[in-house]
Amino acid sequence: MSEPAPAAASETPVESALPEGWELIVGLEVHVELDTATKLFCGCVNRFGAEPNTNVCPTCLGLPGSLPVMNERAVEMAMILGRALGCRVNRSVMARKNYFYPDMPKDFQTTQYDQPTNSDGLLELADGFVVGIERAHIEEDTGKSVHVGGGGRINEAVYSLVDYNRAGVPLIEIVSRPDIRTIEHARNYVEELRAIVVATGVSDARMEEGSIRVDANVSVRLRGSSELRTRCEIKNINSLRSLGRAIEHEALRQIDLWTTGSGPQQQTRHWDEDAGRTTPGRSKEDAEDYRYFQEPDLVPLDPTPATITAIDEAMPPLPAARRAALRAATGAGVDAARLLVERGQDGLAMAAVAAGADGAKTVTRLVNDLAVDDWSKVEAESFAALVRMESSGELSASQAKQVLGDLVEAGGDPAAHAAARGFEVMDTTELESLLDQLIDDNPGEWSRYCGGDEGERKKMQGFFTGQIMKATRGQADGKVVAELLAKRSSS
Amino acid sequence: MEIAAAVSAGERSALEVVDEHLDLIAQRDPELHAFNLVTAESARAEAAAIDARVSAGEAVGPLAGVPLAVKDNMCTKGVPTTCSSKILEGWRPPYDATVVERLRQAGAVSVGKTNLDEFAMGSSTEHSAFGPTRNPHDPSRVPGGSSGGSAASVAAGFTPLGIGSDTGGSIRQPAAFCGVVGMKPTYGAVSRYGLIAFASSLDQIGPIAADVSGAAALFDVIAGHDPLDSTSIGDFAPTASAVLDEGVEGLRIGVVKELSGGPGGVPGLAVDVLARAAEAVEVLAAAGALVDEVSVPSSTLGLSAYYLVAPAEASSNLARYDGVRYGLRVDGPTSPEMTTATRTAGFGPEVKRRIMLGTYALSAGYYDAFYGKALKVRTMMLNDFARVYENFDVLVSPTTPTTAFELGTRTQDPLTMYVNDVCTIPSNLTGHPAISVPFGVGDDGMPVGVQVLAPALHDAQTFRVAAVLEAAS
């Protein structure tokens, strides 16, 4: 069931946080809450942050006699995500996973077992590394417990409160194959998955609101071996930072156990962010037997080929394709392309380049100066004009940055904003005399510029540029200043 | 129905009708215990409202003013719904079952909630946390079960109509024991929304009535699509009442050998019961039906398959009774201990037995040998019956192996109790409709029921054949 995807087996990266000779094996299980209007099996509103137990009904409370009715939009979203991950969409059935917990109204979770909606997909990371997707199945979320007193643990608590607003919220669980070999790739995988989820519009994927949740299956082995050793599942990972820390800690813990004894026990472990370590949960011996069987209250999901074709045709451009297109059009690097696609500014960049703007400058300006939430007033045409003005020397870098700020605020024509700010191309002779004055006033700095090593020279260049910018209220072009400095020191 | 016609025409007052029936209940139910709860006040209010509508010239439904008994495993808004279990103590559903809602719309007046084997698990109504129901024909005997309360209510004349649920024979078997008509519809013909689940893939709500036309009228009201039940059939149009006079001439009727005392068939069928069933077949032949014997080999496997599938689903369906949200709670030092204490006190022995059976049947390492095999038997039965129905329109058999037995004689040995359902279980496993119609009495003078089985969606056919048998008995 979990042989690695062929593409992933090609170039195996090494995790440097591990001792020499050890290899990290990670598979991730990611839960994504779907952004449907209503819950998976009833008409209750699906919304985060409502007053506890206000979005509930007999069905999502699991009251005796209630029955589930499948939310068709949730099924559609599941298939969209599945296709975006390159999965096969199957005839699928819902199943009951039987276990007891007070925040689970029916004391079974309605999920999918041996016949999931999506299976056998791939996820390509920004650097081209490919992770196999085993399955992406539909299931319902549970309620939320708050245990008061006793350290927040259910059995020691003085009392517990349960909010069932989340009970029955539709989830997709995406299970990767154990293809991931580095912490960086584990993070990239979650980032990429998140980007796809957002691009397809199936979820807002906010980790801090729990609408995307990650469990990590971690094991280690000696490099060069192909075995899969005992793994531990790490739960309670609440951020990308925690993900990296948890995997590293768990891998080192396991290596220690393999080195000093017979290795770890298969178990579920809990990541403790404050203590920076994992603590044991259930072990395999007392693991629950979920007694899965087909959900008799629901009928199989059997999409027609036409439905799947329609989903494929309506599929928006996905992050990997958008990054590739952006890089081809602008020459952007891996990180810049990832960032701009994540921000949704790839379209703006492509349009600017198409309108004659320089690719590299376009990317730089966007990466550095458009890290804002609302840039809806920046039109591609005017942004392109701005980049052209910067390229031609009409505006200095810092002036261009200020004009871009104006565009964010008010939109419109960059030339008009530049004029309104009084930005004009500075006469070089004016700059030269300013520089002469500065050199006279700061002989020490000047000799350090002329006689210092590379670092010193850079530092002093910064000093002089800063002074000139101060004197010209930022109207000078830093590049021109650098050129003048170089010219003066060599003359 | 006669009462409905009279009430609609303003010839009888619905309130008077309901009062007469409430009087009967007050006189005799202390002895029979058909009801867990009599809702006299709301019944009288509903009846008065119907009378008012008749006086105002407004239309009333097809069951206007007809007193109705509702099995106490169907949700009734604001009215305690117990499943005859202590575990639901104090719980009042915040909603009505679809069937309850439809019956109210049709003008039927619910007079109360009837007793059952706890969570519908049983065949005698002795497994009730509130004490057994007795058979109106002989109070020393059981009424059958699990819909024993509804069947007894109809047999005692407390209500012309009763609603039951049938998971392995729980409508038909008590109907046979009590000498009334009981019918299990095609799976999905009647909404299960609001029926407290025992075994979801087998449960089906159906009518119980004193005669075939009453059962047909009730069926026609409760059947039909419900968007709240995903297993509800999309375009089912009930037509039972319309076909009652059609007779059986030319109908191809099969006598199932394995359920009729034939060699290799199910054992333990009583001679007197088999004799009545044989006479019923003669009646049908005389009425022009084309009768032949037919073999359905897998029907003998039904009981074993049923006692894996039903407990397995029950073990999951009943998990929610954990003391956390509603019903009984027996406190304990921790949450799991609270749940254990609640279940220990709240569930009766038969329910515990089936939860354990079902949990075991679904366990890792046992699934294939038990639950998985039972599903295969189910498929096999479906194929068997499909093949038989290529040549037959309906099948007949006895409803039960024996007539009603004495209270307390079978509760000690679960297996002898389970055998009661041997003839009725196949229809639940296949999802097909089947009816039990009274046909004479046994050597002990107790009623005998004959069962008519039909393929899926041919529910009306069972009523049509039952009407002919009723006319001849």
Q: Rounded to an integer, what is the distance from CA B403 to the centroid of its chain?
A: 17
pLDDT at A425: 65
CB contact under 8 A, B230 and A70: yes
Which of A94, A113, A293 has the highest number of chain B CBs within 10 A, making it the mutation to test binding with B? Answer: A293
Which of A40, A63, A70, A99 has the highest number of chain B CBs within 10 A, making it the mutation to test binding with B? Answer: A63
The residues near B202 (Cβ < 8 Å, ≥ 6 apart) are B167, B168, B187, B306, B309, B310, B313, B428, B429
Instruction: Name the pTM for this structure.
Output: 0.88
**Are B29 and B59 part of one and the same domain?**
yes
CA dihedral B367, B369, B374, B379 (to 10 degrees): 100
Instruction: Evaluate whether residue B12 is within a structural domain.
Output: yes
**Are B172 and B277 part of one and the same domain?**
no
Residue in the block written with tokens 């709860």 = B37
Catalytic residue status for B146? yes
Domain ranges of chain A: 6-312, 319-420, 428-490
pLDDT at A282: 67
Instruction: Evaluate whether residue B427 is within a structural domain.
Output: yes
Which phi and psi (to 5°) does residue B20 adopt?
A: -55, -45
How many structural domains comprise chain B? 2
The length of chain B, given as a count of residues? 473
pLDDT at A285: 57
Strand ranges for A75-185 from DSSP E = 88-89, 95-98, 108-111, 118-124, 130-140, 144-148, 159-163, 170-176
**Are B270 and B300 part of one and the same domain?**
yes
**Are B41 and B156 part of one and the same domain?**
yes
**Are B83 and B159 part of one and the same domain?**
yes
Q: Is B319:A106 a contact under the CB 8 Å cutoff?
A: yes
pLDDT at A283: 65
Instruction: For residues A412 and A416, give the distance between their C-alpha atoms in angstroms, rounded to a whole number.
Output: 8
Instruction: Evaluate whether residue B143 is within a structural domain.
Output: yes
pLDDT at A287: 64
Q: Model confidence over B283-327: pLDDT tens digits?
A: 999 999 999 999 999 999 999 999 999 999 999 999 999 999 999
The range of the structural domain enclosing residue B217 comes to 2-236
Q: Rounded to an integer, what is the distance from CA A39 to the centroid of its chain?
A: 25
Q: Rounded to an integer, what is the distance from CA B191 to the centroid of its chain?
A: 14
User: Which ranges of A217-371 would DSSP assign to H, the alpha helix?
Assistant: 240-260, 305-313, 319-330, 334-343, 346-354, 359-369
Instruction: For residues A275 and A17, give the distance between their C-alpha atoms in angstroms, rounded to a whole number.
Output: 19
Q: Model confidence over B337-371: pLDDT tens digits?
A: 999 999 999 999 999 999 999 999 999 888 889 99
Distances (CA, A) of B196 to B203, B218, B354: 9, 20, 16
CB contact under 8 A, A297 and B322: no
Closest residue to B316, CB basis, from A58, A68, A98? A98
Instruction: Evaluate whether residue B351 is within a structural domain.
Output: no
Which amino acid, one-letter code, is at A64?
P
Architecture of domain A428-490: Orthogonal Bundle (1.10)
Closest residue to A58, CB basis, from B83, B94, B334? B94
Instruction: Evaluate whether residue B244 is within a structural domain.
Output: no
ipTM score for this prediction: 0.96
Which phi and psi (to 5°) does residue A373 adopt?
A: -75, -40
Q: Is B379:B447 a contact under the CB 8 Å cutoff?
A: no
pLDDT at A324: 92
Instruction: Evaluate whether residue B178 is within a structural domain.
Output: yes
List chain B residues with pLDDT less than 50.
none
* Stretch (H or E) spanning B440: strand B434-441
Block means of pLDDT (10 residues each) for chain A, 491 residues, are 43 86 97 97 94 96 98 98 98 96 93 97 92 98 88 75 96 98 96 93 88 95 93 92 96 96 92 89 71 96 97 95 93 91 90 90 91 87 89 84 91 89 75 86 89 86 87 78 84 68
Instruction: Evaluate whether residue B342 is within a structural domain.
Output: no
Give CA angle at B147 (B146, B153), nearest 5°.
140
pLDDT at A157: 76
Which phi and psi (to 5°) does residue A54 adopt?
A: -105, -30
Residue in the block written with tokens 């590049």 = A479
Instruction: Evaluate whether residue B357 is within a structural domain.
Output: no
CB contact under 8 A, B229 and A67: yes
CATH number (domain holding residue B463): 3.90.1300.10
pLDDT at A221: 96
Which amino acid, one-letter code, is at B331?
D
Catalytic residue status for B352? no
Instruction: For residues A296 and B202, give the distance between their C-alpha atoms in angstroms, rounded to a whole number.
Output: 9
**Are B176 and B279 part of one and the same domain?**
no
Catalytic residue status for B170? yes
User: Which ranges of B326-456 would DSSP assign to H, the alpha helix?
Assistant: 335-346, 349-362, 373-388, 414-418, 425-430
Which phi and psi (to 5°) does residue A202 adopt?
A: -85, -15
- Which residues in chain A have their CB less than 8 angstroms from residue B229's CB? 67, 69
